[in-house]
Structures are given as C-alpha cells and as structure tokens.
Amino acid sequence: MKTLFTWRRTLLGLLAAGVIGQCSAFSFGGAEEAVLIPPPTLDEVTQSHRETAVFAGGCFWGVQGVFQHVKGVKNAVSGYAGGAANTAQYERVSNGDTGHAESVEVTYDPSQVSYGALLQIYFSVAHNPTELNRQGPDTGTQYRSAIFTKNSEQQKVAQAYIAQLDAAHSFDKPIVTKLESFNGFYPAEEEHQDFLTEHPSYPYIVINDLPKVAQLKQLYPERYQEKPVLVKGQL
C-alpha cells in the first residue's frame, strides 16, 4: 500500500513537471475485462428527477471517468466515504486506516437512468466486484468494493441485485461488495477531479481506466454519452 501510494505521488509530480508522456515506460498490471450482466429485476421507484448514489470500487479516477460518460448522470465527484471528516484527505486515506474508501458520488436523473442501471454499470464495467480490498494494482481497504446506500430503497435494490447476480453465477467468483450505511461524503482534492479527462495519456489512466470507458461504450451503447459531465465549475 505504501509503495503504490509513493509511486502514485511520484507520478503525479512527474506529470505536473511535464516529464511523463505515454504509458510505455510504466506498467500497473492491466484493466479488468468487463462482464456483460443483465439488469436488476428489482429497481427503485421514484418520481424525483434528482437523486444521488455513492459507489466505491478502487481508485476513484476510473470510477468517476466511467460514470461521467453515462447518459442521465448530472455530476460524478471523486471523494471519500466511510470515515470521519477530519481524515478525508488523500494522504490520510491512502494509509488505509481511516475507514474511508475512495468513492464517487453520482448525481443522476432517475427518469433517464435508474439506480438499477447505475448498479449494472458499476458491477459490470466500473470495477471488479469479486476482488476483496483491492482493484487491479491498488490494494487496501481504501480500495474496497462498497456501496454506501443512502436510503432503504437503495439498500433493498442493491441487496437484491447482488443476490441475483450471485445466483446466476454472473462472475467466476462470489461478489464481495459490501453495503455500508451512508454517513457522509467528502469531495477529494481538486487535482483528483476530472482526472481521466484531463490526463488521458497518464500511464495509470491509459492502462487501467480508459479501457473501462471503451467497454462502457461497447457493452452499453444506449447508456453511453461521448461528452463527459465534468466536475470543475460545479463544486
């Protein structure tokens, strides 16, 4: 965990200095293959045109980047959930002892994309829900697979969907995603917002995250929008 954190901070510094170009000089494993899965049989019922959901699935750069390309999503903010406000900083969270997970708060219009549809993309494209306390090259509880449910309806839909996917053996291994009670979301530092869009040649993004956006477009073309919904200017 410490080693990866050091690498990421070093690469951020090199990026800021204009040293890093394409990803050929660095390798952080590779992107997970997306799995095409059916939509949930149970979905939310709401008349609202604005709802929020919070998902954790590894490094927030990629999760944010995926949801920013989903039709009906109005905003997707990288941040921290699961811990206290006074430890919601990148350096502290990266130690893995704050209770926080790198997370993304998604604001969406249920008349355009339902909570169930967001869950389908979350499980299928945004991350691998069978990896425990890790995603690809990132390890630690801060990279856990978790859904921070904001009400009983979200809890019910997410719980039913996990049971549905496990019963259908949609993945090679059981889903380890935890449903956690929402106790606050804290936006990450500005340098982490819109990271995929602003740094498409950054090695980590090229290897781990751009393939996720491509898989979203390929597997769910009806959900995909070419122009991402960006955070900066909205916070």
- The helix or strand, by DSSP H or E, that contains position 103, with its residue range, turns out to be strand 101-108
How far apart, in Å, are the Cα atoms of 29 and each of 135, 203, 205? 10, 11, 12
Query: Of the candidates 40, 103, 107, which has an alpha carbon nearest to the alpha carbon of residue 72?
Result: 107
Paired sense of beta strands 145-149 and 178-181, if any: parallel
Catalytic residue among 20, 56, 59, 231: 59
Catalytic: 59?
yes
Distance CA 39, CA 200 (A): 30
Neighbouring C-alpha atoms within 13 Å toward the C-beta of 169: 1
Q: Phi, psi at residue 59, to the nearest 5°?
A: -55, 130
End-to-end CA gap in the chain: 30
CB 35 within 8 A of CB 171: yes
Cα-only R_g, the chain: 17
Query: Of the candidates 172, 145, 141, which has an alpha carbon nearest to the alpha carbon of residue 63?
Result: 145
DSSP 39: P
Q: Phi, psi at residue 197, to the nearest 5°?
A: -70, -40
Token output for 66: 């995926």
| Residues involved in catalysis | 59
